[in-house]
Amino acid sequence: MIDESLVATDGLYFAGERGTDYQFGSRISAHGDCMAIVNGFVFVSWYRGGMDRRNLMLSRRRVDTPEAEWVTIEFPDRHIGYRGDTTKGDSHNTAAVAVSMIDSTVHLLYDMHAYDAENFPDHYFNYRVTAPGAAFVADADFTRERFNDRRDYLVEGKNYERTTYPGFVTDAQGRLIVGYRLGGSGSGEHLLAVYDSTGWNESFSWAQGRIPLPHRYSVYGSMKMEQGKLHSGFSIRYAEREKYVYNSGLYYAYALPPYGLTDWYDVDDQPIRLPIGRADAVQLATPAADYGTAEPSRTSSGPEFTVSGRGDIHFITTVDGRNVHYWRPAGSQRFSSAVGGVIPSGKLYSSGDILIGVELSDGRIRIRTAPVGTNDWQTVYTKTDGPQFSHFRSELVDGLLYAYLQEQTGGDARPLYLQIFDLKLTRQ
C-alpha cells in the first residue's frame, strides 16, 4: 500500500434489521459504480449518514500529489428511502459517477429503483452534470455551482421511468457508455447510451428480458472496457426460478466502437443481433448444474470477469457458498472450471499475463494472482493492520489498485477510506 486517506467520517450505512430499517442490503456508500480515476484525480460518490441526512455527496482528490486534500460537494438531493419511506434504506439506489475527457464534464446518476413518474414525479430518474471544463479545476473552484440542476433525462423528451442500476464505462477516446435496467427483478430490459462530442445519444436495448415465460429474465453483472472493446459479463435472474435462488448461468458478449446495435459479437467472435432475447444465445456455462449442492441452487450476485490482452476469458462466481472459476485460455474453444481452494471472491482484473483477484480477508485487502489462462492462484499480499472494512469497490488503473472502502464500525454514519496499492506488475 502506497497511500491511505480518509474520505469522510460519515458515509451512510443502513444499520439495524433488514425489512425494518432497510431493504435488500445494508450497503449504500462505497457501493455500485461509485469511483472514477481520471487524469490524476479520483472521484468518489457517496451519501452522508445517518438516516436523518442522506445527502448525495461527491468527493475529489489529486492522487499524484501526496499532500492533496479531499474536496467534497454536498448536494441538496437526499436518498429517497425504500419507495419513499425516508426511515428505511434501499441499497439499490447507488450513486454512479463518471468523467468524460472529451469535455471534462462530471456526470452523476443516482438514487433510482424502478420508480414511475405517476408515483414519484420528482424522483424517478436523477441526473446531474457539470458544465464543460469543470472536472479538473482548482480545488477552490470545484463547487456545487459547477453542476446543473437535477434532470430527469439524458436526452430531453425521452422517457427514463423505471430505471435501476445505472453504471458508466469510459473508452480511450473519452466517450462514456452508460448502462441501466428498465423494469424489475426477473423482468428487465437493459439499455445503453453513449456520450460523445455531440452529447448523449438515444438509448437502445441490448438485452430484452421482458419476453414470454418461461424465458423471461433480467441481467446481473457488469460491463468493462478492456483492449478497446466493451465487454459484458453477467448472470441472469429468471422470472420463474424453480431451479435457482436468485441468479444462474454465465453469459458474455462484447461490442466494438462505436458500440451501436450492429457492433456486438459473441464469445466466438460471431456477430449477434440486438437486442438479445433468449439469453441462452450468449450462454457460456451453467455453474449451478456443475457445482450446485442445494435444491434449489443459490447464486445471489453477478459474476466477476476479465478478458486479457491476448484473449483469455475468466469468470468467477459463487454457487451455494463456494467460489467457482471458469476460464478459457486464448486460442482455445473450450472452458475449464474449478471450485473451492484459493479462488478469490472479490474483484477480478488482468494485466499482461497476470490475473489479479482482490478481496477482503478479516476486513482488509488481500490480493491473489495467477497466470492468465490458468487456475494457479497464489496469495501475494495481505494487509494485516489498520482499519477493518465491511465492503469495498476497486479499480485498476496504470498498475495501481484503488480501493474505496467503508469501515466496519457501528451506526448509520461510518468512515470511508481510499487505499492505493502498487501492484508492481512489470515482471523482471
Q: What digits encode the pLDDT tens for the residues 99-141?
A: 999 999 999 999 999 999 999 999 999 999 999 999 999 999 9
320's torsion region: left (phi>0), alpha (psi -120 to 50) or beta?
A: left
pLDDT at 399 over 60: yes
Write the DSSP string, 74-110. Answer: EEEEE---BTTBTTSEETT--EEEEEETTTTEEEEEE
pLDDT at 412 over 60: yes
Contact in structure between 227 and 372 (CB atoms under 8 Å): no
pLDDT at 426 over 90: no
pLDDT at 427 over 60: no
159's CB contacts (< 8 A; 6+ apart) are: none
The correct CATH number of 3-422 out of 3.20.20.70, 2.130.10.10, 3.40.950.10, 3.40.50.920 is: 2.130.10.10
* Local structure of residue 140 (DSSP, 8 states): G
Kindly list the catalytic residues.
92
* Nearest one of 246, 225, 224 to 235, comparing CA atoms: 246
Predicted TM-score (pTM) of the model is 0.97
